[in-house]
Amino acid sequence: MKILMFGWEFPPFNSGGLGTACYGITKSLSEKGAEINFILPQNQKIPEEFLNVISAKLPKIKIKEVDSLLISYMTPQHYRKRFLSLDEKNLADNYCNGLVKEVCRYSQIAKKIAKEVEHDIIHTHDWMTFLPGIEAQKISGKPLVSHIHSTELDRSGGHGANPQVFSIEKEGLQKADKVIAVSDFTKNKILKSYGINNNKIEIVHNGVYKNGFSDSLNFKKHFNFGNNKIVLFLGRLTLHKGPDYFLCAAKKVLEKNKNVIFIISGSGDMDQQIIEQAADLGIADKVLFTGFLRGERLKRIYKMADLYVMPSVSEPFGITTLEAIASGTPVLISKQSGVSEILNHCLKADFWDVNEMTNKILSVIDHDELGECLSSNGLSEIDKFTWDKAAEKIIGIYGQLLNNKNLCAIKRF
């Protein structure tokens, strides 16, 4: 089976969960015999050693770069700033003046790729790739799968959604032969807000490479944290991830227990706001900012934490939760998340209920037995959520689409 896949990020150049998901899905699909051409908008050449790593681990995946200014989780404002930083020749000859226009330019490149690359299925990931997928389907007529990891309604926190992005999302979901949602939480949002037929949507939960996190060393002893417990937030510093609620809870926790350090790992459009909020709350000396982490540093920070907190306002899934559990770290997660529907051995709170969040943080840092119980039971529970199982479901969806296409062809004769 040959897959033409459009994404917008891929490790090591990823800034969120979509890149992690694309890696896990493509790796597992390739191990099951699928041949994948992964199309990536990228205006900086991926280092040769990275391509060697990919070709060694994923021999049936070919990564093809498309020259573009598009990067993951980009806003129109961010695109405009990047566009204006280019010299006049590049401005005139290569790129479009506007995020949506650049996505449309990418779509026209997708048509050429669809002519050149043999494929049985077109698989797209989130809104930036939906129009390229639609254009590719016009050329090849192959079944189109739209995989939704995060909607514009999630990213905007339900307020101030970009109407152009929303419109592209809706078109991509409507024209797809199948829609893959990462959770019931996301499926319900698609049904309610985008008007997509229920029978068209399949749920495929994300997974985790458990061994990749469990075998990392705990470096906590190398840092001078004294008797302090560590509570971790790890994610993009943006509205729907709820870092501001995390700091409000931190303030209340410290009023009851001073021996706690709060670590915020990540970056985003709320960077400055969150730093200023910590200062305004008078807890700046108890909050550490690490910036964006990946690789071994990411694994170490999970291991160091006594509790991982994901206070998302609207979270389609939440892969970081599985990564934290795989690291042996107990978790407290927002009820407004997809991952909360599949996990039992964790603590849960509404993102807006700072008092409940505070009480549950205190219960873990004050009672080691609770943390140990959540950790051991969580490790057993996540054995059910692997990328291999996700790939099996996706291959089943591919097979269904190809069988339906073949049946339609037979009926025409």
Band (pLDDT 50/70/90 cuts) for residue 52 is: very low
Nearest 10 degrees: Cα torsion 358, 217, 25, 341: -20
Domain boundaries, the chain: 2-207+386-411, 210-384
Band (pLDDT 50/70/90 cuts) for residue 43 is: very low
Q: Could you tell me which of 412, 379, 403 has the C-alpha nearest to residue 178? A: 403
Q: Tell me if 320 sits within 8 A of 15, measured CB to CB.
A: no
328/112 Cα distance (integer angstroms): 47
User: Average of pLDDT values for 209-220?
Assistant: 70
178/404 Cα distance (integer angstroms): 12
State the average pLDDT for the chain.
86
Whether 75 has a pLDDT exceeding 60, the answer reads yes
Whether 81 has a pLDDT exceeding 80, the answer reads no
Query: CA neighbours within 13 Å on the CB side: how many for 109?
Result: 19
Total residue count of the chain as it appears in this document = 413
Q: Tell me if 26 sits within 8 A of 52, measured CB to CB.
A: no
Band (pLDDT 50/70/90 cuts) for residue 329 is: very high
Note the CATH architecture for domain 210-384.
Answer: 3-Layer(aba) Sandwich (3.40)
Q: Of 34-48, 213-227, 372-386, which has the strongest mean pLDDT?
A: 372-386
pLDDT by residue (tens digit) across 243-299? 999 999 999 999 999 999 999 999 988 999 999 999 999 999 999 999 989 888 999
Band (pLDDT 50/70/90 cuts) for residue 60 is: low
Whether 97 has a pLDDT exceeding 70, the answer reads no
Q: What percent of the chain has pLDDT over 90?
A: 64
Band (pLDDT 50/70/90 cuts) for residue 359 is: very high
Is-cis flag, bond preceding 12, omega within 30? yes
What is the CB neighbour count within 10 angstroms for residue 33? 9
User: Average of pLDDT values for 180-200?
Assistant: 95
The predicted pLDDT at position 93 comes to: 53
240/161 Cα distance (integer angstroms): 12
**Amino acid identity at 34:** A
> Which CATH number describes the domain made up of 2-207+386-411?
3.40.50.2000
Task: Establish whether domains 2-207+386-411 and 210-384 are of one fold.
Answer: yes
Helices (H), 45-85: 48-57, 76-84
The predicted pLDDT at position 25 comes to: 94
Whether 66 has a pLDDT exceeding 90, the answer reads no
pLDDT by residue (tens digit) across 227-242? 899 999 999 999 999 9
User: What are the distances in angstroms from CA 321 to CA 115, 216, 328, 337?
Assistant: 40, 17, 11, 10
Give helix then strand counts, H and E, for the chain.
17, 13
33/56 Cα distance (integer angstroms): 15
